[in-house]
Amino acid sequence: MTAIVCKDLCKTFQQGDEIITGLENVSITIEEGDFVCLSGPSGSGKTTLLNAMGGLDTPDSGQILIGNTRLDQLGKGALADMRLNKIGFVFQSYNLIPVLTARENVEFVMQVRGVPAKERASRSFKILKEVGLQGMENRRPAQLSGGQQQRVAVARAIVGHPALVLADEPTANLDTLSSSQLMELFVELNHHHNITFVIATHDVRVMRYAKRLIKMQDGKIISDDTQEQINTRDK
Amino acid sequence: MLTLAWRNLWRNHRRTVIMLAAITVGVWAMIFMTALMRGMVDDMLHNGIRNLPGEVQIHNRAYRDDPSINNSIPAPDKNLLKALQSDTVKAWTQRVRVPAVISSERDSRGVTLLGVEPQSEVKIGFSLDSISEGRFLSDNNDDGLVIGARLAERLETRLGKRVVIMSQDPKNNIAERGFRIIGIYKAKLASLEERYVYTGLETVQTLLKMKNRVSEIAITGEDYRNVSSWYPAIEKAAGKNMQTLPWYQIDTYLSSMLKMMDGFVLVWIIVVFLALSFGLVNTLVMAVFERVHEIGLMQALGMRPSMILYQILLESLLLLIIGLLAGNVLAIGTVIPLQDGIDISAVAEGMEMMGSSSILYPALKLNDMLLANTVVIFLGVLTSILPAWRAARFDPVEALGKE
């Protein structure tokens, strides 16, 4: 089954008098259960592609399909619903709501969806346990380490069983140990729950966990390899 | 959503407390000042209605144009008596009310002679406590005279002295007789003390050869504001030959004063709110401005723009509700100790000119409180829409990029 399809995506930005190319005819198909890393230098278009795939930004042209729904044709409200029900986000700088506890942050998405309180509580406790934060449910973000905050963000991203989790530089603010723990968590979730991950990163250690590595440069895809192809090439 | 709104409210304690203090003081000012103004107007209206007196009066149809003895009415018939004994009627009385001249051995004055039924006159509003010397009339045949303290002063007469009352009978003949002053009363308004003199109803009817006829029937209910609910039944019972009018039609000055007061209360509440609204909008704009990134995050997580709008409005609503609660409690807490009245005798003469007395009784009305609360909630939410709408329109990518 296909998780998401992008066809001929183009996106430009105006910066003063200059027009910058964010994406240029980008086409990719990501299968369900895939574990994809988007790599490339800063300004290569990774985040722009991720934002477009997540419905946070709309491309100038091209198509984005999740199931039978074309994201590029949806209005603001419908895009919000799509993000709420089909997509999970993990951001670089944790991005938790500071006034809510870990549990409440995880429950936030379910609450917006209208999930009953009892079910929200049971699912959030379960998922926080799964990401290794048992006993820390009632701590606020300021009382958690960077790694722990990112785990809360992961729990929030996956608690609604999304078709796709998009992670933008999720390890950028973490130390080596926390980074590898987070990536192992991603792999575990991908393996056990068949959750599709698309991770934008320029961290080589993160790329090693990918089943598929897409390299970008100047808004274009310059290579799209499986881990086996990379390993074979490296040998 | 409520938890989030509540916690967001207390993110910046100082700012929230300052804004709450402003709303509290504003609401207090609205309610407290309204209670003072309402008390003053109530007093003016009560005095005015007492001058009439009665909340509803029944007259001969020609009486208002020519309040002479010729335009009298018969005593109430069975139908009218039945209506006058209904639950909505608190008290009623009948009077002869004619212009007259009172003369002492020193001076003469033009007055209004009232021939009254003492028992029902007391029920309808004459206060026995206002008798400063002597006594009030005992029955309808009492031929003593009760005059105001100021009139006694003007006539240079006193309790127990005799005076002469002169008026006209229905045939325009002079009718006069001597009366002994049996009582002197003090009124809230000195002008009333000079105007009205009281004697027994039948005494006046005999003097003016009126038999059982009277000038007016006066009726009061429980609240002068609710007259319209019960006076049509009286009007119907009185019949078409008689004119039944509520106080606001008899004295249009009083009714326009009440309407003006209602309008003034609303204007006052809105003016206070406008001053408040600057602070409220500023607080919300700052709260939104500080949380652009977070709002972007909520959008990214799937919150619809309408829900962002609702979230910000909920914060505003919470702020308003807490401020309103505190403001209401403060207003009630300051009005209750003043229920016995505020002495404003320093400006009593000026107040009297306006028809108000020298003790001001604040009147805390539920309707005024509801009006203040409704205006604050309604306009508060309305003014919060702009910052909330701006928050709802953020571009999630741009908002997420702001720290």
Asked if B233 and B201 sit in the same domain, the reply is yes
- Which of B387, B398, B400 is closest to B309 using CA atoms? B387
- Which of B375, B391, B257 is closest to B324 using CA atoms? B375
pLDDT at A89 over 80: yes
Q: Rounded to the nearest 10 degrees, what angle do helices B13-51 and B252-290 cross at? A: 180
CB contact under 8 A, A83 and B300: yes
Domain that holds residue B18: 2-48+255-400
Select the residue from B297, B306, B393 to test the A interface by mutation, using most A Cβ atoms within 10 A. Answer: B297
pLDDT on residue B85: 87
Asked if B260 and B245 sit in the same domain, the reply is no
Q: Does B169 touch chain A (CB under 8 A)?
A: no
Q: Which residue of A has its CA nearest to B9?
A: A99
Asked if B227 and B95 sit in the same domain, the reply is yes
For residues B324 and B380, give the distance between their C-alpha atoms in angstroms, rounded to a whole number: 11
- Which of A96, A174, A183, A84 is closest to A131 using CA atoms? A183
Sort strands A35-39 and A212-217 into parallel, antiparallel or unpaired. Answer: parallel
Q: What mean pLDDT comes out for the span A119-145?
A: 88
pLDDT on residue B117: 93
pLDDT on residue B352: 61
Asked if B312 and B351 sit in the same domain, the reply is yes
Domain end among B188, B222, B250: B250
Residue among A83, A91, A97 minimizing CB distance to B302? A83
CA A192 to chain centre: 17
Q: Is B371 or A235 the better-scoring residue by pLDDT?
A: B371
Q: Taking the CA atoms of chain A, what radius of gyration do you get in angstroms?
A: 18
b/e sequence B351-361, b meaning 16+ C-beta within 10 Å: bbeebbbbbbb
Asked if B58 and B157 sit in the same domain, the reply is yes
* B255 to B33, B38, B41, B247, B362: CA distances (angstroms): 21, 14, 11, 8, 20
Q: How far is B23 from chain A (nearest CA, A)?
A: 25
> Dihedral sign, CA of B168, B169, B173, B175?
negative
Element (H, E) at B101: strand B91-103
CB contact under 8 A, A99 and B11: yes
Sort strands A196-201 and A35-39 into parallel, antiparallel or unpaired. Answer: parallel
Asked if B142 and B242 sit in the same domain, the reply is yes
Q: Does A57 touch chain B (CB under 8 A)?
A: yes
CB contact under 8 A, B306 and A104: no
pLDDT on residue B150: 92
Written as six digits, the tokens of B176 are 């006069």
Q: Does B389 touch chain A (CB under 8 A)?
A: no
Select the residue from B292, B301, B315 to test the A interface by mutation, using most A Cβ atoms within 10 A. Answer: B301
For residues B321 and B325, give the distance between their C-alpha atoms in angstroms, rounded to a whole number: 6
pLDDT on residue B116: 93
Asked if B31 and B163 sit in the same domain, the reply is no
CB A69 within 8 A of CB A125: no
Sort strands A212-217 and A220-226 into parallel, antiparallel or unpaired. Answer: antiparallel
pLDDT on residue B388: 86
pLDDT on residue B354: 62
Residues making up chain B, counted from first to last: 403
For residues B253 and B261, give the distance between their C-alpha atoms in angstroms, rounded to a whole number: 12
- For chain B, the domain total comes to 2
CB B176 within 8 A of CB B100: no
Asked if B138 and B283 sit in the same domain, the reply is no
Q: How far is A73 from chain B (nearest CA, A)?
A: 17
Tens-level pLDDT at each residue, chain B (403 residues):
778 888 877 877 888 888 888 889 888 988 888 888 888 887 777 777 666 567 899 999 998 888 888 888 988 888 888 888 888 888 899 999 999 999 998 899 999 999 999 999 888 888 888 899 999 999 999 999 999 999 999 999 999 999 999 998 888 889 999 999 999 998 877 778 898 999 999 999 999 988 889 999 999 888 777 888 888 888 888 888 889 988 888 877 777 877 887 788 888 888 888 888 887 788 778 878 888 888 888 888 888 888 888 888 898 889 889 999 999 999 999 988 888 878 777 766 666 666 666 677 888 888 888 988 888 888 888 888 888 888 888 888 888 776 6
pLDDT on residue B347: 65
Question: Which residues on adjacent β-strands are paired with residue A21?
Answer: A12
- Which of B391, B392, B364, B384 is closest to B39 using CA atoms? B364
Q: How far is A191 from chain B (nearest CA, A)?
A: 24
- Which of B25, B49, B31, B47 is closest to B363 using CA atoms? B31
Residue among A51, A80, A99 minimizing CB distance to B302? A80
Question: How many CB atoms neighbour CB B250 within 10 A?
Answer: 19
Q: What mean pLDDT comes out for the span A70-77?
A: 85
Asked if B84 and B217 sit in the same domain, the reply is yes
pLDDT at A117 over 80: yes
Q: Does A81 touch chain B (CB under 8 A)?
A: yes
Q: Check residue A29 and report its DSSP letter.
A: E
Domain end among B250, B272, B302: B250
Asked if B296 and B192 sit in the same domain, the reply is no
DSSP per-residue string spanning B224-250: GGGHHHHHHHHHHHH-TTEEEEEHHHH
In CATH, which superfamily holds the domain spanning A32-58+73-234? Answer: P-loop containing nucleotide triphosphate hydrolases (3.40.50.300)
pLDDT at A233 over 90: no
CB contact under 8 A, B400 and A95: yes
- Which of A91, A13, A177, A66 is closest to B299 using CA atoms? A91
The count of CB pairs under 8 A between chains A and B is 60
A235 confidence band (pLDDT: 50, 70, 90): low
Asked if B263 and B365 sit in the same domain, the reply is yes
Residue A81's Cβ-count burial label (10 Å; 0-12, 13-18, 19+) is middle
Q: List % helix, strand, coil for chain A (3-state, nearest 5).
A: 40, 30, 30
CB A28 within 8 A of CB A77: no
Taking the alpha carbons at both ends of chain B, their separation in whole angstroms is 23
Q: Which residue of B has its CA nearest to A57?
A: B397
> Which residues contact residue A186 at a Cβ distance below 8 angstroms, ignoring those fewer than 6 apart?
A35, A154, A167, A170, A197, A199, A209
Asked if B266 and B234 sit in the same domain, the reply is no
pLDDT at A75 over 90: no
